[in-house]
Structure 1
Amino acid sequence: MSIPNEALQKILIEIEQKASFSQQQISIVKSQMAAKSRESRMLQLTAKEVESLPVETKVYEGVGKMFIETPAPAVKKRLQSETEGLKSDMTNLEKKLHYLETTYKNSIDNLEQLL
């Protein structure tokens, strides 16, 4: 039993669109992962610098256009919580990337089967 040309053409277009969309999303997710990685590295370097400071050193955080004196332990705690948040974001992005790569691979396989 053969599939009519119009239906076959429609299926091919759908699969091509799905593959194209997946490929676009993959590039977006990869760029988001790179940005999160840079942000994580900056947090690590900042935490390392704060750790190396003597206890009595005054620490200032930027808030808008001004700086506010903040206790060093509070800064350390904020940096740690931001790092944990970035780790969970990276985990979610990795899952999304895996899903998109699988979708893309399946679309390509389906195209090859049809052709």
Structure 2
Amino acid sequence: MSGLSDDTLRKILQQIQQQAISSQKQLSIVRAQIQSKEKERKILALTTRELGHVPRDDSSTMYKGVGKMFIEQPRTEIDIEHSTLEKSLNEEVSNLTKKAKYLEKQFDEANSQLKDIFHSQQRQEA
């Protein structure tokens, strides 16, 4: 590092710092998305649990809320939609968790690089 000019070193530090800031911002966005999906999953689990208490006979009508309206649907369609939505939410949470781990790793690497540069500069000055 002793061969680098102050200007070049400053540019490298800015670049690493921008990467760390970008990773931190993306990480907070991903964490918010994970929380949102977890909330959706809990609501779906509660809905499924409550529907489990409703008797399964052909005479009962089920309605699905759509905006400010309700649409009549057979129980089997609602069950299929719920299971599909549950699988989808599980997949999304899994993918977002992987993305969060990657961003955390990227942020940690950027911080590590900054620390290494500062330590090497301190050793050179001493």
2:122 equivalent to 1:86:
no
Unmatched segments (≥5 aa) in structure 1: none
Deviations for 1:4-41, whole angstroms, at most 9, x for unmatched residues? 11100000000000001101111111110000000000
What is the aligned counterpart of 2:111 among 100, 104, 108? 108
Which of 85, 99, 102 lines up with 1:96 in the alignment? 99
Which structure has the bigger radius of gyration?
Answer: 2
Unaligned runs of 5+ in 2: 119-126
Normalising by structure 2, we get a TM-score of: 0.87
Letter in 2 for 1:79: H
For 1:66 and 1:36, the matched residues in 2 are separated by 24
Q: Is structure 2 residue 22 aligned with structure 1 residue 21?
A: yes
Structure 1 stretches of at least 4 aligned residues deviating more than 6 Å after TM superposition: none
| 2:73 aligns with one of 70, 74, 78 | 70
Matched, 1:58 2:64: no
Distance (Å, rounded) in 1 between the aligned partners of 2:98 and 2:6: 37
Please, what is the CA RMSD of the aligned residues?
1.0
- Residue 65 (structure 1) shift: 3.3
Provide the aligned length of Structure 1 versus Structure 2.
Answer: 115
